[in-house]
Amino acid sequence: MAKQVYDASAIQALKGLEPVRRMPGMYTHTIHPLHIVQEAIDNAVDEALAGFGRKMTVSVFKDGSVEVADEGRGVPVDLHKGEGRPAVEVAFTMLHAGGKFAKSGEGVYHISGGLHGVGVAVSNALSKRCEVTVYRDGSRHSIVFEGGELKNKLKSEKTKEKKTGTVVRIWPDPKYFDSPNVPLGELEHLVRSKAYLLPGLTTKLHIEGKPEQSWRYEKGMAQYFDFMLEGREMVAPLFSGERYFENPDSSEIEKGEGAAWAIGWVAEGEVFADSHVNLIPTRSGGTHEAGFRNGIFDALSAFMDTRSLHPKGVKLIADDLWQRACFTLSARIVRTQFHGQTKEKLTTRHASRLLELCVKDAFELWLNQHPDEGKKIAELAIEQAMARLSRGKKFERKKSSGVATLPGKLVDCAADDTSRNELFMVEGDSAGGSAKEARNKETQAVLPLRGKVLNTMSKDSRTVLANKELQAIATAIGVDPHGPDDAPDLAGLRYGKVIIMTDADVDGGHIQALLLTFFFMHAPRLVEAGRVYVAQPPLYKLEVPAQGKGRPARRIYCLDEEELDEEIGKLKKEKVKEGGWEISRFKGLGEMSPEQLWETTMNPDTRRLVRMSFDLKNLKKVRESFELLMDSGEAEGRRNWMREHWKTVEADV
């Protein structure tokens, strides 16, 4: 093997939009192209937020393209002094180029959503074609890009139309996405949300071949609540309001920052929580949502204190109040900071304090002005606290050291329906972190494990419970260790599926074997009931480029080498050029992005699970197999068995 030289020649300096095309996952979601469409939508809404234009139209065409049109000022088309090119060309071909980086009070945008610095340049980079039309100064200006590069220079012509605005039409390039299609349900929710967050703004969605949809909410969030509740009654009247600081006392808070909100409580049915920053949806919440929740809870606690509403022996926690709460929150923040390029979680530090200041006093005043309604909200929270404590009693287990509660590292799910709930036991903190972000928070819980658990083959139940890792597993599941002749109470079972999710390598296989030994030997009734599963994450990923018209780029996940060879064989039969595909191997679950982990291993629609089951009548045979493979005293027997079955066995020796 030739010796590799590590010097200046090894350092690559990627220019223009090449970094985006090389590593699209660093800049956007790669499951589907909704986010690159959202960048254009955010720019259109920022214009309306700044007071320019009262209508935005999003159109989806059968050829896969999406168009976003606004009535704003229009992207500038004059020459950029530093670059010597039209400003619109600079905005669409350079990262970190835009009109939103000026210091507070000096820029054309005081508050906007597009502040993370990549914007429509990423949309252009990951599109086969991008057409931009600008109306301003009595002229129509058009420019075209292909593959992120300039195709047709800016062309301008006078027009009699007295309008301003920008029209962006993009054709997402399928080779950068798992699916080339924009999810229409999510797009509809996104477009509609802009209308209720900015009262008076009309948003339209036109899908070719279908009737156009249009939304306009003059009453904003309150009107949206009526739509979402679908006739369900609330426990108390809706608490809605807004507060923006024009002359803030704190140096942390800038002029114009604040929030608008609406919150209500329902006794039954589904709840919803929508939070936004500068009209950008923050699906993973963030500091603004944390401050909002704290402010509302603190206000209710103060109200209950003044009226002695706290029940004896019951300590209310924030979750008790929020279990039955529905809310929409729209924060406006001058200098935003987000976690990641897709802006799904706000990390701006002062946002928490800002939102507390906005809502705490306002909600406490409202509660005191509406004491009867306040008592109903308090009673609902107390009811949830009592239910929580009642559920907790089911999961307590007595031991010599006292009572064990649910393990602290368990990230639980929200739903109470055991038949739907799933527990993922994940190898390591890295994979656990990805799983926490990827999961469906409503029905999927995550329990990270620290390395390899105890081999319980020859251990009794007392020894098992003395092990902290196994104790945490048993406590989280809600079933005590037991033998085949025992009749454990499965009524305390907290999850319909218990899923072992480890890396697709030797270490992952070892951890999987140790966990299965625990379940088969110390929780056989759970296995017999068909509640234990093993996830099958892929080991390989095949990137197949587009093959002419009608054959878009594909991303194929393969379980193992055998499946990889099978898929490559199919590609050869399709006459895909030899070596035209790219193969990558996952080192572990922690290496996957949350989106990939969800798509391949956690999404019920696309994942592969193997159910563990056996008949207790065959327990003797099962136990003999486990003893042979897992008992420390059976080393010689294992060697003989492997010699006999060497053609079909993979072993780490």
Q: Are strands 273-277 and 325-332 parallel, antiparallel or unpaired?
A: parallel
By the 8 A CB rule, do 70 and 48 touch? yes
Distance (Å, rounded) from C-alpha 556 to C-alpha 550?
Answer: 17
Distance (Å, rounded) from C-alpha 189 to C-alpha 166?
Answer: 22
Please compute, for residue 339, the number of CA atoms within 13 A of its CA located in the half-sphere on the CB side.
13
Helix, strand, or coil here: 37? helix
Q: Are strands 273-277 and 280-281 parallel, antiparallel or unpaired?
A: antiparallel
Please compute, for residue 423, the number of CA atoms within 13 A of its CA located in the half-sphere on the CB side.
23
What token pair was written down for 383? 């009811």
By the 8 A CB rule, do 342 and 595 touch? no
Q: What are the E-state strand segments in 450-590?
A: 497-501, 532-535, 540-544, 554-558, 582-585
By the 8 A CB rule, do 475 and 397 touch? yes
User: Which of 122, 105, 102 has its CA nearest to residue 43?
Assistant: 122
Set 42, 437, 503, 595: catalytic member: 503
User: Which of 51, 136, 46, 148 has its CA nearest to residue 100?
Assistant: 46
Q: Does 422 qualify as catalytic in the annotation?
A: no
By the 8 A CB rule, do 449 and 511 touch? yes
Burial of residue 589, with CB atoms counted within 10 A of its CB: 0-12 exposed, 13-18 middle, 19 or more buried? buried
Q: What is the DSSP letter of 65?
A: -
By the 8 A CB rule, do 406 and 479 touch? no
The three state secondary structure string of 225-254 is HHHHHCCCCCCCCCEEEEEECCCCCCCCCC
Distance (Å, rounded) from C-alpha 393 to C-alpha 8?
Answer: 64
Set 242, 319, 383, 507: catalytic member: 507
Set 319, 505, 631, 634: catalytic member: 505
Helices 371-395 + 287-306 axis angle, to 10 = 110
Q: Does 412 qualify as catalytic in the annotation?
A: no
Residues in contact with 393: Cβ distance below 8 Å, sequence separation at least 6, in sequence order: none
Q: Does 503 qualify as catalytic in the annotation?
A: yes
**C-alpha dihedral, 256 to 163 to 190 to 255, nearest 10°:** 0
Distances (CA, A) of 63 to 67, 140, 180, 358, 639: 12, 25, 11, 46, 61
Amino acid at 449: L
Set 427, 437, 567, 595: catalytic member: 427
Q: Does 615 qualify as catalytic in the annotation?
A: no
How many other C-beta atoms are found inside a 10 Å radius of the C-beta of residue 190?
Answer: 20
End-to-end CA distance of the chain: 28
Q: What is the CA radius of gyration of the chain?
A: 29
The three state secondary structure string of 448-480 is EECCCCCCCCCCCHHHHHHCHHHHHHHHHHCCC
Distance (Å, rounded) from C-alpha 24 to C-alpha 30?
Answer: 7
At residue 627's C-alpha, the angle toward residues 623 and 633, to 5°, is 155
Task: Supply the residues annotated as catalytic.
Answer: 427, 503, 505, 507
